[in-house]
Structures are given as structure tokens and as C-alpha cells.
Amino acid sequence: MTQEIQPATVRVFIALAPPDPAKEELARALRPAYVSHPHLRWNRIEDWHITLAFLGELPSGTVPLLRPPLAGLAAGRPPLSLALRGGGSFDERVLWSGIGGDLDELHALAADVRAAVEGCGIAFEDRPLHPHLTLARARRGDRSSAAEVAASLAGFTGGRWPGERLHLVGSNAGRGSGPIRYRDIDAWPFGGGDATPA
């Protein structure tokens, strides 16, 4: 039996993920844009997430340090009530959908997550939280596509959904020229319960 070789480092972030019905609702609203803007680099729907803390490239051996504090943090919090709402673009290149609902609680959760990471002795760039789902990226030189699709999402308001799990996510970004892929390293339900390893 061959043993899988673990990479020396892993690109890591901590996030919430909308449930499938919420993602499907937004995907229906995006169908015309998928047709009219096929040249955008669309993220896979299963990879849509709300980043709470981006930790970047970490030594693989430090990742297990995050499990106990994040599990404890999730166990002590109730689910958040959130919704997907509107759209926008960063630098006219990155298309996103906004987040509505319990934003004060979402910001408090992100602050607690970041404090837990710092408590593990893991250094990371503490960027301001702008809750969103990244949907697509425009190719260099294409300065209008993301803004056009964002304008079409201006009136979109999805139904409320419970943010029920805290996810520790690994990514292959920066490893080769293929599409970015994400995988759960671990996930914990809010309000207690068992962890779900990937």
C-alpha cells in the first residue's frame, strides 16, 4: 500500500459556506452571465465560501494546532442567519456576491477566529473583513466584464440561511497552472456536535 506524501506547506483559510439551496438560488440568477461572459474564470459553485481569516501558506505540521481552538470556538456559538445579496467587483476584475443578515455576529465570529489563530502562534496578514463570495475573475485586460455582471446582481436578494459550520480549508492556489481547488481539512458545527474530517 502506498502512503500519500504530505506537502511541506498548505495554503489555508477559515470560512463559512452557504448551503446548497442558497448557492443554487444565486447560480440561477447568474445563468445569463454564464452565457454572456464565458471568458470569465468562474469559480466552481461547490467552492463558494465566506473567508473569515486567510492564513496563507503554512507548514503542514502547524495545521493540527488550529483544530482544538476552532472546534471549541464553534461549539460555543449559535448558527448565524445570513443571506446572499447583491454583487460587486474588486479592482474591476474580481466578481463577488455580498452577504446580508447577522453581520455584527459575522464580524464578531471573524474577530474570535483571528484571535484563536493568533493564540496558536500563527502569524498571518490581518486583512479587514469584507464579507463576500468570490464568483469569478476577469482575465487581464478585461476591465468591464466583472463590473457588468456585478451590476446585473444589484437587485439580487437570496433567502436567509443558517451558517452552521466553521470550515478549515486547504487550497492548491499557486501550485501549477490548473484551476484553484479547495478541500475541507476539518469542519465543526456551531453549538456542539462532532467534527467532520475531510
CA pair distance 198, 190, nearest whole angstrom: 17
Q: CB count, 10 Å around CB of 183?
A: 12
Residue 132 bears catalytic tag: yes
Residue 49 bears catalytic tag: yes
The arrangement of strands across the sheet holding 161-163 comes to 41-42, 132-137, 94-101, 80-90, 161-163
Q: Nearest-5° angle of CA 118, CA 7, CA 179?
A: 95
Residue of 39, 49, 107, 167 with catalytic role:
49
Q: State the catalytic residues.
A: 49, 132
